[in-house]
Structure 1
Amino acid sequence: MALMQTLVGLQILLLFHVLGTTAQSIGVCYGTVADNLPPPKEVVDLYEANGIEKMRIYNPDPSIIEALKGSNIELVVGVPNEDIQTLATSEPSAIQWVQNNIQTHINYVKFRYIVVGNEIMPNDQQAQFISRAMQNIYAALVSFKLHTKIKVSTAIKLSLLGSSYPPSQGSFSPSSYSYIKPIISFLADKDAPLLVNLYTYFTYIGDPNDINLDFALFSPSNTTIKDGKYEYHNLFDASLDAVYAALEKLDAPNLQVVVSESGWPSDGGSAATVLNAKLYYQNLIQHVTQGTPKRPNQALETYLFAMFDEDLKGPAETERHFDQPLPQISHLQPQPPPAPDSLFHHHLRCPSSPCPISLPLHSLAYPNTLYSPPHAHPPQPPCSTVLF
């Protein structure tokens, strides 16, 4: 199982080559809640060698920022939740934060967004401070004349929506209004995007009887949501258009949305399998260039979660399985030629190993050739509508 998960961890890298630069709107999250990760310089090399042009990190880790110097990778850097109160209540602290973590490196690192907080909920202690912290960080950027280069935002959970079905009825929950309204007003005023962490996996496991698994995986299914003039054939589009509808109800119909996290776990829970994860990432990368029914033909900036498993995360077991560390990458051996009915070979670029490594995509999910791969998931009954 460990080898299987290690191999599926290569999927993100392989997909960037398989699908080419349709992935230009795609970034990859680089979480570090783990004790077995490669050094930051090797991680940056992996991003560059595989054409990944955007990185999201969750705190201004000096070693990561140093490793990015001179690269062409655009960086989305987070303000940790625990720092929000200080930055909200002290303008000098916000100026110092920007000076230490942004201004000092601006000539060598391509900063894209500063994300003030991740998945803060209205009843969290930090919620009362987040809007002011965003304003203070923005003011600090102005003082360094960086406000036209770097946008300030925050990343929210999809669960802030009180209604999402049908998508046109999407709205933020009444309990979140006082929290989300000033955030949306700030973003609209500064022409900055709202970042949304969107996981169809969690929506699916929350209601597996009414949500078709194929619908959550972008796979062909019998599920179609008809909502006025729009039709929805996957849960991702339906969820995102519900966010757009919610923004319209807050007088922000043109606010850009960035999907700041999206992924599927390969282990640790219901429907969390290697093959389902592979299908989700592949389909997501192919899909985001198309936009949604409500906003068609607009490439959607999306960040895959994640480059590595984070073995110290929890409490849910799935939190540790959104990808796999790659320290063993140089030890992978080329696989034998695939059987006639297996999928074609792809090549992974890895700067620290004798590459390209030729691997049958089939073997990435099922390296043990003593058995055949099962179906990606159990057959689902026909479904003509879905509640989420």
Structure 2
Amino acid sequence: MSTTRTLLLVCVSILYYSIHGGCNKIGVNNGLMGDNLPPAEEVVTLMQNNNIGKLRIYKAEPLVLKAYANSGIEIILSVANFQLRNISSSQEAADKWVDDNIRAYYPATDIKYIAVGNQALEKPEYGMYVFPALNNIELAVQKAGLEDKIKVSTTHGRAVIPISFFPSKGAFSDSVKDNMRSFLQFLEDHGSPYMANVYPYFGYLENANISLDFALFKSTAPIVRDGLRIYNNLFDALVDTIYSAMEALGFSNIPIVVTESGWPSYGSGENGVATMENAQTYSNNLIKHVLSKTGTPKRPGKSIETLIFALFNENMKGGDETERHFGLFYPNKTPVYPVNFSP
């Protein structure tokens, strides 16, 4: 790609984020794996009352999309993993998905991003469908004349980039590296962000060398010295590890949107760190940090567009008990613990 085109894409990307309001409000993920969750209209009011400005929706549903019309809340709308195979092999299916779920509601419902799959690239049953599905959805968005307003990407979890003690050594896993080059080129070509699910909670559990204070933003002294860069929290280290991994493949201008980050307030085992106190500490410190202009050591002076997982505790989620206790609110809309959404 020519230098002129690269600079043009960067400028378009900066303008796009300015138009959409940037990172001045925190976001949340609204999972639906519960049998006692409030209706969408009540969720809209709850978010507005708490100054929560962004929402990730995992499944496109007409009643939900209608509820957010003229709400002032930006939406990340997902293409579910089970839909990837059909959309990857059929432009007609991609066009229909965009017609049914985007054109029918936009711009009254402010859909900012389309996330084509969730951590699908690292899952063998879905990985092969991600890139063709991305291309088909992007083409459908272009046909709708919305390519400058709605950006297309997909989310990635911790499996695609192993934790590195030094963020500057960040690198993609060998299993995804070849596909990642094409994906990053797609993002650069279309001015789309890299979407990352960033969890210091799991990083702490999986690495005995990480301290709890480092994971909770509580460290008051440098913990990691990486050349001239100093890290005192794990969140920044994980985000900068992603930047380094992209740079290692030749991509240095792609922004990161943190599509998930959170800490459970209850659960069995897990070294005893899934507590109300730790969840409150993490959530409040995360919000304060990402809404500030601190940025990360590799990208200082910039807010970090971030969505917390999750809005509600979800009683029907499987797995460990902690999976049902990542919520900021109980289904009855009372806070699980006090959170300052506008620090």
TM bracket, shorter-chain basis: 0.7 to 0.9
Q: 1:23 to 1:252 in 2, by over 3 A?
A: closer
Quote how far apart the aligned CAs of 1:61 are. Answer: 1.7
Corresponding residue to 2:296 among 292, 296, 302 = 292
> Aligned partners of 1:286, 1:25: CA distance in 2, in Å?
11
Within a 5 Å distance, the mapping from 1:90-101 to structure 2 comes to 90-101=90-101
> Aligned partners of 1:324, 1:262: CA distance in 2, in Å?
12
SS where residue 171 of structure 1 aligns?
Answer: coil
Residue matched to 1:315: 319
> Aligned partners of 2:328, 2:301: CA distance in 1, in Å?
32
Q: 1:161 to 1:27 in 2, by over 3 A?
A: same
> Aligned partners of 1:103, 1:236: CA distance in 2, in Å?
36
Residue matched to 2:218: 219
Indicate the larger mover: 218-227 or 125-134: 218-227
Corresponding residue to 2:282 among 242, 262, 280 = 280
> Aligned partners of 1:109, 1:22: CA distance in 2, in Å?
17
Quote how far apart the aligned CAs of 1:158 are. Answer: 2.1
SS where residue 314 of structure 1 aligns?
Answer: coil
> Aligned partners of 2:236, 2:340: CA distance in 1, in Å?
31
Quote how far apart the aligned CAs of 1:49 are. Answer: 1.6
Quote how far apart the aligned CAs of 1:58 are. Answer: 0.6
Quote how far apart the aligned CAs of 1:165 are. Answer: 2.3
Quote how far apart the aligned CAs of 1:206 are. Answer: 1.0
> Aligned partners of 1:57, 1:347: CA distance in 2, in Å?
23
Residue matched to 2:252: 253
Residue matched to 1:164: 164
Residue matched to 2:199: 199
- Report sequence identity in percent: 40
Please list the CA deviations of residues 166-224 of structure 1 after superposition, one character each: whole Å capped at 9, or x if unmatched: 110000011111232221110011010010000000010112x3111000000025551
Residue matched to 2:4: none
* Residue 269 of structure 2 is aligned to residue 267 of structure 1: no
Please list the CA deviations of residues 307-343 of structure 1 after superposition, one character each: whole Å capped at 9, or x if unmatched: 101111121221111015544347x9xxxxxxxxxxx
Q: 1:283 to 1:23 in 2, by over 3 A?
A: farther
SS where residue 154 of structure 1 aligns?
Answer: strand
> Aligned partners of 1:24, 1:157: CA distance in 2, in Å?
24
Greater RCO, CA 8 A, separation 6+: 1
Within a 5 Å distance, the mapping from 1:109-128 to structure 2 comes to 109-128=109-128
> Aligned partners of 2:115, 2:63: CA distance in 1, in Å?
19
> Aligned partners of 2:227, 2:23: CA distance in 1, in Å?
31
Residue matched to 2:238: 239
Contact 2:103–2:144 (Cα < 8 Å) also in 1: yes
Contact 1:22–1:285 (Cα < 8 Å) also in 2: no
Indicate the larger mover: 119-128 or 61-70: 119-128
Contact 1:163–1:169 (Cα < 8 Å) also in 2: no
TM-score normalised by structure 1 residue count: 0.77
SS where residue 172 of structure 1 aligns?
Answer: coil
> Aligned partners of 2:109, 2:97: CA distance in 1, in Å?
16
Contact 1:40–1:67 (Cα < 8 Å) also in 2: yes
Please list the CA deviations of residues 103-157 of structure 1 after superposition, one character each: whole Å capped at 9, or x if unmatched: 0111311110000010124352211110110110010011110111100000001
Quote how far apart the aligned CAs of 1:86 are. Answer: 0.6
Which portions of structure 1, spanning 4 or more consecutive aligned residues, are displaced by more than 3 angstroms? 324-330, 345-348
> Aligned partners of 2:36, 2:122: CA distance in 1, in Å?
34
Residue matched to 1:305: 309
SS where residue 183 of structure 1 aligns?
Answer: helix
SS where residue 301 of structure 1 aligns?
Answer: coil
Q: Give the root-mean-square deviation of aligned CA atoms.
A: 2.1
* Larger Rg, first or second structure (1 or 2): 1
Please list the CA deviations of residues 272-306 of structure 1 after superposition, one character each: whole Å capped at 9, or x if unmatched: 00000000000001111211001000110000111
Quote how far apart the aligned CAs of 1:347 are. Answer: 9.6
Residue matched to 1:54: 54
Contact 2:313–2:326 (Cα < 8 Å) also in 1: yes
> Aligned partners of 2:121, 2:340: CA distance in 1, in Å?
42
What is the count of residue pairs matched by the alignment?
Answer: 314
Quote how far apart the aligned CAs of 1:42 are. Answer: 0.1
SS where residue 24 of structure 1 aligns?
Answer: coil
Contact 1:266–1:322 (Cα < 8 Å) also in 2: yes
Please list the CA deviations of residues 28-53 of structure 1 after superposition, one character each: whole Å capped at 9, or x if unmatched: 11111111101110001111122111
- What letter corresponds to residue 29 of structure 2 in structure 1? C
- What letter corresponds to residue 57 of structure 2 in structure 1? I
Residue matched to 1:153: 153
Q: Gaps spanning 5+ residues in structure 2: where?
A: 1-20
Q: 1:165 to 1:329 in 2, by over 3 A?
A: closer
Within a 5 Å distance, the mapping from 1:6-21 to structure 2 comes to none
